Amino acid sequence: MTDIPHPPSRLHARDLELGYGARSIVKDLEVVIPDGQITVIVGANACGKSTLLRGLARLLKPTRGTVILDGLDIQKRPTGEVARILGLLPQQPVVPSVVTVTDLVGRGRYPHHSGFRRWNPEDDRIVAEALELTGTADLAGRLVDELSGGQRQRVWIAMALAQHTDLLLLDEPTTYLDLAHQIDVLDLLAELNATRRTTIVMVLHELNLAARYADHLIAMQGGRIRAEGAPEAVITEEIIRDVFSLDSRVVLDPVSGTPMVLPLSVRRKESRDHHTDSRR
């Protein structure tokens, strides 16, 4: 399928510029998404994280440069073909008014069907498997509307699993979930990555969780990549100061051994400085 002898990865972007209308959000970006790993994109609000994810998912046409999926320009590939390789879970998907869990998860099979190839037993098997993996099998007959936030997020992930793609892109999959449910969703994604070797790319706000779950971390600042690599290399006091304009201490997470950010509140820092000054 590809003419390039050794593509750096299945999904990467060259000289990427993304924007809405005349306003460019992401500029001069070279991104390589490592195959079979979990990549987490972090950064301050409005730094272009979600825009980058949308560009990688083909939802946004680049104003310059190309996103390459399996050696081919993603914009030039048929939508249905892309949807069988790369899945996407947007930040706030729309729940149809009255739909059961099974029905919704089944819609993930859409790209595998056509006018000729309709629903078949294989689809039933894949949907059942997606429900099983996400622990939503006992919710199968329930209406999605009636589920809690955590359950609903699992159902959306089940739908993405039913799409059966090698790559899965998620925009803030843990937003609006309490800490226990955030861990729950991230564990589920990590398990998926471990068992199926699914390449996962997600935008996360919570840095300490990002450091725990990411194999590859991309820190963005003002539409550019400020730093990328292993969490240990990216989560440093200097980079956090640049990316979030926030002073912090970085220590080792006693649970996971990954870097952990302890933010210094500006107000408390001032009062402490004041305190030490007065002692002098």
- Residues interacting with another protein, by CB under 8 A? 54, 57-59, 79-84, 87-90, 93-94, 96-99, 103, 107-108, 110-111, 113, 115, 143, 163
Helix, strand or coil for residue 201? Answer: strand
252: CB partners within 8 A, 6+ apart? 258, 259, 260
Of residues 1 and 255, the one with the C-beta less far from another protein: 1
> CB of residue 245 vs another protein: minimum separation in angstroms?
30
Of residues 79 and 276, the one with the C-beta less far from another protein: 79
| Residues β-bridged to residue 190 | none
Cα distance between residue 93 and residue 127, in whole Å = 19
> CB of residue 240 vs another protein: minimum separation in angstroms?
30
Of residues 26 and 209, the one with the C-beta less far from another protein: 26
> CB of residue 57 vs another protein: minimum separation in angstroms?
6
Distances (CA, A) of 4 to 44, 59, 212, 218: 35, 25, 34, 25
> CB of residue 59 vs another protein: minimum separation in angstroms?
6
Of residues 87 and 223, the one with the C-beta less far from another protein: 87
> CB of residue 15 vs another protein: minimum separation in angstroms?
23
Q: How far apart are the first and last CA of the chain?
A: 70
> CB of residue 181 vs another protein: minimum separation in angstroms?
19
- Work out whether the CA dihedral 3, 53, 29, 205 comes out positive or negative: negative
Of residues 84 and 196, the one with the C-beta less far from another protein: 84
156: CB partners within 8 A, 6+ apart? 89, 93
Distances (CA, A) of 179 to 138, 145, 152, 186, 209: 23, 22, 16, 11, 10
Of residues 148 and 265, the one with the C-beta less far from another protein: 148
